[in-house]
């Protein structure tokens, strides 16, 4: 996962394959599924769509075997079909995925999947449906501080523009810009704080270094003084 996150996909692939091998040795179907899913996303990240398609087929073998994984299988299918520009299929799987959201206790923010539905309707040129889901996505925003929220407003602005509703498009685009501007400002503030912490740490390290140097100089001076007194004592 560390290699995958840092875009070292070739190395990530090797470790995921080793994970799969060990999961099969254990015979744990959940771990086997998770390994296959990780390999699928690793192939998608490299735009290896043919290889990714073969793993989609493998994941489907777990559809009834592990019911709690249906949501993740549908998500993989939706992303794959969107990547190959089959938006009708992608929409079908995304809507089915949305129907399973209530069972996903760890997912509280529904806005992202509603946005995905809206975007797919937009690609299919079904603007009314795209607008409905786009606005519901905005209403469903769970985390107001999420830096990606501007995309939801921009999506509705694009739809309104295609509907020749320029006033609505302008309002939503302005809101999108405000959220984006704030997210940039927040990121800069975070970076400045990190730099300040590093500076404070450097100052503390400098103080500690000076203190150690002072102690060292004092110890050397004390040692030389003791040697001098010893010599004087011997001479005396």
Q: What is the pLDDT of residue 185?
A: 65
| Distance between CA atoms of residues 108 and 42, nearest Å | 26
Task: Report pTM.
Answer: 0.68
For residue 138, is pLDDT > 80? yes
More confident position, 213 or 46 = 46
| Distance between CA atoms of residues 195 and 198, nearest Å | 5
Which two tokens mark 104? 């996903």
Which two tokens mark 201? 């740490």
Report residue 29's pLDDT band, with 50, 70 and 90 as the boundaries: very high
For residue 187, is pLDDT > 70? no
| Distance between CA atoms of residues 142 and 139, nearest Å | 9
Q: What is the pLDDT of residue 198?
A: 64
Q: What is the pLDDT of residue 194?
A: 64
Dump pLDDT digits (tens) for 82-106. 999 999 999 999 999 988 887 776 6
Q: Which of the residue ranges 18-32, 52-66, 74-88, 169-183 would you say has the lowest mean pLDDT?
A: 169-183
What length is written for the chain? 236
| Distance between CA atoms of residues 170 and 74, nearest Å | 35
| Distance between CA atoms of residues 145 and 155, nearest Å | 18
Q: Return mean pLDDT, the chain.
A: 87
CB 32 within 8 A of CB 24: yes
């Amino acid at each position: 996962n560390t290699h995958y996150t840092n875009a070292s996909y070739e190395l990530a692939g090797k470790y995921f394959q080793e994970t799969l091998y060990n999961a099969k040795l254990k015979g744990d179907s959940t771990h086997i599924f998770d390994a296959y899913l990780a390999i699928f996303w690793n192939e998608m990240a490299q735009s290896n769509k043919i290889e990714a398609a073969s793993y989609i087929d493998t994941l489907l073998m777990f559809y009834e075997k592990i019911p709690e994984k249906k949501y993740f299988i549908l998500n993989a299918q939706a992303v794959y079909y969107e990547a190959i520009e089959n938006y009708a299929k992608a929409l079908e799987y995304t809507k089915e995925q949305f129907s399973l959201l209530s069972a996903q206790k760890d997912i509280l923010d529904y806005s992202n999947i509603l946005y995905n539905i809206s975007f797919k309707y937009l690609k299919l040129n079904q603007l009314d449906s795209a607008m409905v889901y786009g606005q519901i996505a905005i209403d469903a925003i769970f985390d107001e501080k999420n830096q990606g929220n501007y995309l939801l407003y921009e999506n509705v602005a694009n739809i309104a523009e295609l509907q020749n509703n320029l006033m609505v498009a302008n309002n939503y685009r302005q809101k999108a810009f405000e959220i984006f501007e704030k997210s940039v400002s927040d990121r800069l503030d975070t970076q400045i704080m990190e730099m300040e912490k590093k500076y404070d740490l450097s100052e503390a390290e400098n103080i500690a270094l000076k203190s150690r140097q002072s102690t060292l100089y004092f110890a050397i001076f004390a040692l030389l003084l003791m040697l001098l007194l010893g010599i004087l004592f011997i001479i005396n």
